[in-house]
Amino acid sequence: MEKMVIEGGYPLNGRVRVNGAKNAALPIMAACLLIHGTSKLRGIPELTDVKTLCDILNELGVETKKCQDGSLDITVKDESNITAPYDLVRRMRASICVLGPLLGKRGMAKVSIPGGCSIGSRPIDIHLKGIEALGAEVEVKDGYVIATGEKLKGSRVYLGGPYGSTVLGTCNIMMAAVLAEGRTIIENAACEPEVQDLANFLNKAGANISAIGENNLIIDGVDELNGVDYEIIPDRIEAGTIMIAGAITGGNIVLENDASCYLASVIDKLREAGVYIDLRDAVNNSSGYENKGECIVKSDGNIKPINLTTLPYPGMPTDMQAQFTTLLSIANGTSVITERVFPHRFMHIAELNRMGANIMNEDAIAIIKGVSSLSGTTVMASDLRASASLIVAGLAAKGVTEIRRLYHIDRGYERLEDRLANLGAKIWREKE
Ligand code: EPU
């Protein structure tokens, strides 16, 4: 096993390119189950989660081919298998996103129920309610969801849950409905940019999806989808993480292939915390999809305390909560973070406190009393974004930080240490 070693205290300086979005890549790759011919996907990041989904697709008779130009060609070769087995699904909770397209195209799906994880219990009840509304019969047996429905029928379905909309639930029902008979309206659909990207991909392949990005998403069934060439959007969470790394180290960085059009809530809060952000060359359209501009992030390292609440898009992303917790741990005063998407997503706090932070957590609230500095020590990553928050902490801390259980970071950030090192960070991997 490997660990990450960081010698803190070096401001980040320079330019960095934002990679394609993991959470757009995964459902779009799964959507290829619905498609005749080959789809060429561009901008798919090199991540273990992407590799896991390739393994599941291969198991389901789909060929996934990495091309010389970095694109990924996906072609369905054999539609006879409908089972996504536990051994593959357990590696990544997002594997549930094959449920909708398998059912929609093959008339049946048997998908292992993903377990909970360190960010919460993560039920799939709303996904199941959605496919039942389309006429599928659903049985939960021996740890698997077995869904059957030879010809699904469009329907109106409300997909809200106790914590708002569901991202992968919306993706699953959209994918199940795209070849169904008639019109489906998803009420309280998730509006995240990655959900919009999936809808745009499906439309390019021949689907008829409208009101994309709105609360009531409309899907009119079509007979067939065909392979397309598609570039996925940049990763707003990777961009936000690097912005915070720049801010906490008192750096001066420029993000290329910028995702700031999807980061209004993050940019607003960073500015409130005293970080200078300039959006250059951003194409100012309402959907923001043309934005290939640059984002400049500058900070003198003096962070003001702020309060923030995570919410579904366009609110503050829960996937940025841990990184903000780190940033605010060295603010000049007390901040309050309220987690409204995954109320127990606070495993990083104990580790940050081991680095000298002063953070209290009760229920869905973290109270962060800013300290003058963090100090390096050995810490344990518990999930993907918690790992990112510990790396950000290590960059700012005095002394050396070692992060164990590093495999989490490779699930969602491509060669993060190389990219931070290019910006002047002292960071490397070592064998444990
Ligand atoms: N929920 C239910 N029932 C369901 C589905 C969800 O109660 O059937 C609850 C969840 O427990 C949670 C809330 O609804 O409290 C929102 O969960 P959601 O379904 O939106 O999450 P997800 O689709 O499983 C995606 C991202 C997560 C991100 C969340 C929220 C992917 C692959 N994953 O998960 O990303 O945190 O949306 O934005 O898109 C990450 O990248 O690190 C990550 C965890």
Write the CATH number for 387: 3.65.10.10
Band of the pLDDT at 313, cuts 50, 70, 90? Answer: very high
In this structure, the answer to whether residues 217 and 243 fall within a common structural domain is: no
- Mean pLDDT confidence for 75-98: 95
Instruction: Give me the pLDDT at residue 283, please.
Output: 53
Same domain, 8 and 30: no
CA of 320 to the centre of ligand 1 (A): 13
Regarding the beta carbon of 345 and ligand 1, being less than 6 Å apart is answered no
Residue-wise pLDDT for 240-250, tens only, equals 999 999 999 99
Residue 95 sits in which domain range? 22-231
Report whether residue 166 contacts ligand 1, using a CB cutoff of 6 Å.
yes
Cα(68) to ligand 1 centroid in Å equals 33
- Among 208, 231, 254, the domain boundary falls at 231
CA–CA dist 248, 392 (Å, integer): 8
pLDDT at residue 289 tops 70: no
Q: What is the mean pLDDT of residues 130-145?
A: 96
Residue that is last in its domain, among 182, 212, 231: 231
Confidence of residue 291 (pLDDT cuts 50, 70, 90): low
If asked whether residues 244 and 216 sit together in one domain, one would say no
CA of 167 to the centre of ligand 1 (A): 6
Report how far ligand 1's centroid is from the alpha carbon of 340 (Å): 12
- The residues annotated with a catalytic role in the active site are 117
Q: Which atom of ligand 1 is nearest to the CA of 190?
A: 20
| C-alpha 102, offset from chain centre | 22
Q: From the alpha carbon of 96, which atom of ligand 1 is closest?
A: 24
From the CA of 120, give the closest atom in ligand 1. 11
Is 125 touching ligand 1 by the criterion CB < 6 Å? yes
Does residue 343's CB lie within 6 angstroms of at least one atom of ligand 1? no
DSSP 199: H
The alpha carbon of 313 and the centre of ligand 1 are apart by a number of angstroms equal to 12
Residues 129, 37 share a domain: yes
Average pLDDT over residues 101-121: 89
Tokens coding 110: 């048997």
| pLDDT-wise least confident of 8-22, 224-238, 270-284 | 270-284
Residue spans of beta strands (DSSP E) within 274-391: 276-280, 294-298, 307-310, 334-339, 358-362, 365-369, 378-380
Query: Residue 341 CA: which ligand 1 atom is closest?
Result: 15
Q: 262 and 122, same structural domain?
A: no
For atom 11 of ligand 1, the residue with the nearest CA is 122
Last residue of a domain, one of 231, 251, 279: 231
> Are 144 and 215 found together in one domain?
yes
- Give the CA distances from residue 290 to residues 25, 150, 215, in Å, rounded to whole numbers and listed in that order: 18, 39, 22
Q: Nearest 5°: phi and psi at 217? A: -90, 135
CA distances from 369 to 191, 246, 347, 350, 373 (A): 33, 21, 17, 14, 12
Q: How many domains does the chain have?
A: 2
Q: Are residues 160 and 286 in the same domain?
A: no
162 Cβ below 6 A of ligand 1? yes
Q: What is the pLDDT of residues 29-71, one digit of tens each?
A: 999 999 999 999 999 999 999 999 999 999 999 999 999 999 9
169 & 279 share domain: no
Are residues 224 and 245 both part of a single domain? Answer: no
Q: Are 298 and 395 found together in one domain?
A: yes
> Do 180 and 272 belong together in one domain?
no
The annotated binding site for UDP-N-acetyl-alpha-D-glucosamine is made up of 93, 319, 341
